[in-house]
Chain A
């Protein structure tokens, strides 16, 4: 059974988003997603400063098994990316919710977060797949 923290919101495409104290939100992929991909060997990150729309392809993750697009769960401006993943992509496997974050985004409209799934709904979504 994969780990699904209660304090995050989730997209159907398996990204999580967490509101930080500084008004930005961090985005990564869920434990379920990293487990399905298996050993991650490359991560491509978005350009800091770029403006993205919800559901845009903004990053790519490649495991030994497959390549997978990462979609932004919300619209906004990318304020930071996790450069550490370039040299240590396996961090996404070992720490999907903490050290394995992909990027930070200044969320355009925080109300849009409510349209994403809570932990319970996401757990059911994973089970249905």
Chain B
């Protein structure tokens, strides 16, 4: 038996099929992944993502420290509640993890992946030398992600009136501390929605209220197909500590300006840029297979410029055909995949397939 979130019993009550996920007993689905996927695209669904690691950063040097630790620049967070997606790089300029950082009244809150928890905490602590900061893991916090076109309305039905009024005002990548809840317009599905970080003792009650408002529970299976359709990377699959963010479609999250800011991995990134300009760094692209068959992570690719590999692949329930993220030689024009022994042509597209329920690639 693995670790369980405070909603484990709620998952069983909802008919979840439980699987091991990086040491946690998590719901893979509650019946049908495809139905859950459609629920999020069409209405609203709730994910228990309490297995993810929450780390609070305080102290007078918190901003200075995070500006050194992260490749994106927390100075962009102009007010409390704002959120930023960032890579945390090692000194080789490769991706140690990807994360969301929120500016809070007490400092900053970071949410990192659960499989990378100990490595990340070690790295964060190792790099505190010379900074007056405190780093505190918050294992007793739960996270509920509520996403879908009707998600905000449903969340507002599940909370107090004055809280609902503040939630309705939130813009994308903005959050607000409401009593014991922190609620932010962030997520991993390509739909509108919020993530609610709250004490784990409060999570079952909010879960029940969301379900009573018509929100359906969604497993980690649909979480994966939703994020893949949204072209969002999954750490450990689409990038890891051997991958440059420039080879993982993450350059937009690197804050090269202001030039005076030094951050971990920056000198190495400059070298990665030169490699890329010389055509020697691969790129992360989207692949589309309109015929039959399903692209899977690990499948080998042959392009006009060389070899590549699928990093994440699945069936897209929205598009009703297979899609994938793949790392291939830069500027490849054509691509074939080895599908169970048969070379099949696939189309190269921008790595973004579905936003707000609609196809977005050409």
Query: Within the complex, which residue of B32, B34, B293, B317 is in contact with A62, where a contact is CB–CB below 8 Å?
Result: B293
Whether B315 lies near A64 (C-beta < 8 A) is yes
User: Within 8 Å of chain B (Cβ to Cβ): is A108?
Assistant: no
Closest to A38 in B: B33
Tell which of B29, B33, B294, B296 has the most Cβ of chain A within 10 Å: B294
Given the complex, which residues of B lie within 8 Å of A41, measured CB to CB?
34, 294, 315
Query: Within the complex, which residue of A60, A64, A90 is in contact with B314, where a contact is CB–CB below 8 Å?
Result: A64
Query: Within the complex, which residue of A38, A67, A93 is in contact with B294, where a contact is CB–CB below 8 Å?
Result: A67
Given the complex, which residues of B lie within 8 Å of A65, measured CB to CB?
33, 221
Given the complex, which residues of A lie within 8 Å of B34, measured CB to CB?
39, 41, 64, 90
B34 to chain A, nearest CB (A): 4
Interface string of A31-51 (1 = CB under 8 A from B): 000000011011010000000
Given the complex, which residues of A lie within 8 Å of B122, measured CB to CB?
none
Whether B296 lies near A38 (C-beta < 8 A) is no
Q: A62-B294, A64-B33 in contact; A38/B315 too (CB < 8 A)?
A: no
Closest to A43 in B: B292
Give how many B residues have a beta carbon under 8 Å from the other chain's beta carbons.
15
User: Within 8 Å of chain A (Cβ to Cβ): is B340?
Assistant: yes
Chain B residues numbered 295-350 whose CB sits less than 8 Å from any CB in chain A: 296, 314-315, 317, 340
A35 to chain B, nearest CB (A): 8
Closest to A90 in B: B34
User: Within 8 Å of chain A (Cβ to Cβ): is B53?
Assistant: no
Whether B292 lies near A39 (C-beta < 8 A) is no
A38 CA / B28 CA spacing, docked (Å)? 10
Given the complex, which residues of A lie within 8 Å of B340, measured CB to CB?
60, 67
Whether A42 lies near B221 (C-beta < 8 A) is no
A66 CA / B294 CA spacing, docked (Å)? 8
Given the complex, which residues of B lie within 8 Å of A42, measured CB to CB?
292-294, 315
A90 to chain B, nearest CB (A): 8
A93 CA / B314 CA spacing, docked (Å)? 18
B289 to chain A, nearest CB (A): 11
A62 CA / B315 CA spacing, docked (Å)? 9
A10 CA / B293 CA spacing, docked (Å)? 27
Whether B292 lies near A38 (C-beta < 8 A) is no
A8 CA / B137 CA spacing, docked (Å)? 55
User: Within 8 Å of chain A (Cβ to Cβ): is B352?
Assistant: no
B298 to chain A, nearest CB (A): 12
A41 CA / B289 CA spacing, docked (Å)? 14
Closest to A62 in B: B294
Closest to B340 in A: A67
A107 to chain B, nearest CB (A): 28
Given the complex, which residues of B lie within 8 Å of A38, measured CB to CB?
28-29, 32-33, 221
A71 CA / B294 CA spacing, docked (Å)? 20
Given the complex, which residues of B lie within 8 Å of A39, measured CB to CB?
32-34
Whether B221 lies near A93 (C-beta < 8 A) is no
B319 to chain A, nearest CB (A): 11
Q: A38-B29, A93-B32 in contact; A67/B221 too (CB < 8 A)?
A: no
Closest to B35 in A: A39
User: Within 8 Å of chain A (Cβ to Cβ): is B225?
Assistant: yes
Whether B221 lies near A64 (C-beta < 8 A) is yes
Given the complex, which residues of A lie within 8 Å of B315, measured CB to CB?
41-42, 62, 64
Given the complex, which residues of A lie within 8 Å of B225, measured CB to CB?
64
A64 CA / B33 CA spacing, docked (Å)? 8
Chain A residues numbered 12-48 whose CB sits less than 8 Å from any CB in chain B: 38-39, 41-42, 44
Given the complex, which residues of A lie within 8 Å of B314, measured CB to CB?
64
Whether B296 lies near A67 (C-beta < 8 A) is yes
Given the complex, which residues of A lie within 8 Å of B29, measured CB to CB?
38
B324 to chain A, nearest CB (A): 13
A31 to chain B, nearest CB (A): 14
A95 CA / B315 CA spacing, docked (Å)? 21
Given the complex, which residues of B lie within 8 Å of A64, measured CB to CB?
33-34, 221, 225, 294, 314-315, 317
A26 CA / B109 CA spacing, docked (Å)? 58
Closest to B314 in A: A64
Given the complex, which residues of A lie within 8 Å of B32, measured CB to CB?
38-39, 93
6 A-B pairs with C-beta separation under 8 A:
A62-B293, A64-B34, A64-B221, A64-B294, A65-B221, A67-B296
| Interface residues, chain B, with chain A CB atoms under 8 Å away | 28-29, 32-34, 221, 225, 292-294, 296, 314-315, 317, 340
Given A66-B296, A90-B34, 10 more pairs with CB closer than 8 A: A38-B221, A39-B32, A39-B33, A41-B34, A42-B292, A42-B294, A62-B315, A64-B34, A65-B33, A65-B221
User: Considering the complex of A and B, which 6 residue pairs feature the smallest CB-CB distances, nearest first?
Assistant: A39-B34, A41-B315, A62-B294, A64-B315, A39-B33, A42-B292
